Amino acid sequence: MNFTRSDFPDGFLFAAATSAYQIEGHGFGGAGRTHWDDFAATPGNVLRGDHGAIACDHYHRYEDDLDLMEGMGLDAYRFSTSWARVLPEGRGQPNPQGLDFYDRLVDAMLERNLKPMATLYHWELPSTLADLGGWRNPDLPKWFADYTRVIMDRIGDRLYSVAPVNEPWCVGWLSHFLGQHAPGVRDIRATAHAMHHILCAHGRAVEVLRDLNISNVGAVCNFEYAHPATQSAADIKAAALYDGYYNRFFIGGLFKGAYPENVMQGLEPHMPKGWQDDFPLIGQKLDWLGLNYYTCKRISANTEAWPSHSEVEGPLDKTQMGWEIHPEGLHHFLTWVSQTHTGDLPLYVTENGMANPDVLATADTPRMDYLNQHLDAARRAIADGAPLKGYTFWSLLDNYEWALGYEKRFGLVHVDFETLERTPKASYHALSKALKA
């Protein structure tokens, strides 16, 4: 790598991120069925029908995986807890095996000096709640608060940080407008309801966390730089709208008590009743903001129904996801968000990384380049005043990349999905060397 720890401020945290459904193996330990199991069981939704029943078998191999992180010299581990593992029916009776698992997992992190950074919802909604309308149901935030209390009563005393929800854009827009993630809905009213309810759920969870005296509570949003496909007025307007519902809607709710005007021009008629009254709940004080950043998009106006635009291919080098590599976007969002929304609130890069079609013999150079370029952008953002306190790469392991199954490999550790054997890639060794230097 082209940096060492000493190029970052004292106390800067380096961490790895994963999520429950993507690595644990939801067939184990009494976990309940999730809407991802249902989505994957429906032909055409997920590549090869891949699902998370075994995934990386982290449920049984977590000690080895934590050893890998400790061996690498990381400071923290961003993991998520699964609602359906804790409460298999979504409400009611907890699963003792699930609570025991997260208890052991947190203790095992602390034994290795890894700071536990928890996320409470990384997309595996219990099927029983999906049956009730999922994120369209206005009672979901209340049930999420109940789940928050159950899991935090058990592990909340030992966490470094907590965020209720990972990437609300994916929960709302990707899953209910584009239909690419579970529950695979394509409906504007469902989208507006889900986008608002997920923020209400965040707020309800924050109330519970504060009530339990849990500190270092934040939020994690994803960001994509929106380029107009051309300099035409129509494309510029289209890119501003993409930027609105992707990058500004959720932090608008969290930090400004308002949603962007250009987004509300399309969504307002579909919002749940009384949505304007929920901002005090949504906008409670936070201790940090996490930014997940991977890529940029090129947006072109079209004549279809709102939002009346589509994505066109861009010229930059692309990852295995087909995502352009645009490190400048990370610098942009870190500096912009602190200047316009968060001030001196600590920021973390909570996800950043690339998928590459790795086989064990590959040199892993593209991933090292990607990490170098984005860490360079992060360093420049710090120099330009962004209060960035840590960087988390996605992901420790190759894992279940949702609708794209197991084909897209984001890990710094290779996983053989036949044998489940883990093999650190060259990027793992290079980052380890940089951190220990």
- Kindly list the residues in this chain that would bind ligand IFM in the complex (CB under 6 A): 19, 22, 167, 292, 351, 394, 401, 410
What does the block give as tokens for 225? 């730089």
Distances (CA, A) of 394 to 15, 45, 46, 142, 144: 9, 23, 21, 30, 25
For the CB of residue 349, give the shortest distance to ligand IFM in the complex, in Å. 12
Question: Which runs of E-coded beta strand occur in 211-278?
Answer: 218-228
The region, left, alpha or beta by phi > 0 then psi within -120 to 50, assigned to residue 167 is left
The one catalytic residue in 124, 324, 351, 401 is 351
The Cα–Cα gap between 245 and 307 comes to 10
* Nearer to ligand IFM among residue 224 and residue 243 (C-beta): 224
Angle of helix 96-111 relative to helix 58-72, nearest 10 degrees, comes to 20
Closest CA to 333 of 351, 320, 356: 351
For the CB of residue 47, give the shortest distance to ligand IFM in the complex, in Å. 13
Helix %, strand %, coil % for the chain, to 5? Answer: 45, 15, 35
CA angle 245, 251, 257 (to 5 degrees): 105
Active site residue 261: no
Single-letter code of the amino acid located at 419: T
For the CB of residue 129, give the shortest distance to ligand IFM in the complex, in Å. 19
Q: Which residues of 322-353 are buried (b: 16+ CB within 10 A; e: fewer)?
A: ebbbbbebbbbbbbebbeeebeebbbbbbbbb
* Nearer to ligand IFM among residue 292 and residue 338 (C-beta): 292
Residue that the structure tokens 């279809």 belong to? 304
Half-sphere exposure of 253 (CA within 13 A, CB side): 28
Active site residue 167: yes
* Nearer to ligand IFM among residue 82 and residue 292 (C-beta): 292
* Nearer to ligand IFM among residue 99 and residue 377 (C-beta): 377
Are 205 and 144 in contact, with CB atoms under 8 Å apart? yes
* Nearer to ligand IFM among residue 24 and residue 351 (C-beta): 351
For the CB of residue 23, give the shortest distance to ligand IFM in the complex, in Å. 10
Are 301 and 237 in contact, with CB atoms under 8 Å apart? yes
Closest CA to 307 of 202, 368, 358, 234: 234
For the CB of residue 369, give the shortest distance to ligand IFM in the complex, in Å. 18
Dihedral angle over CA of 387, 392, 394, 398, nearest 10:
180
The one catalytic residue in 24, 167, 224, 401 is 167
Half-sphere exposure of 150 (CA within 13 A, CB side): 24
* Nearer to ligand IFM among residue 150 and residue 163 (C-beta): 163
For the CB of residue 231, give the shortest distance to ligand IFM in the complex, in Å. 30
Are 129 and 143 in contact, with CB atoms under 8 Å apart? yes
Are 69 and 393 in contact, with CB atoms under 8 Å apart? no
For the CB of residue 77, give the shortest distance to ligand IFM in the complex, in Å. 15
* Nearer to ligand IFM among residue 12 and residue 21 (C-beta): 21
For the CB of residue 80, give the shortest distance to ligand IFM in the complex, in Å. 9
Residues annotated as catalytic (active site), given as ranges: 167, 351
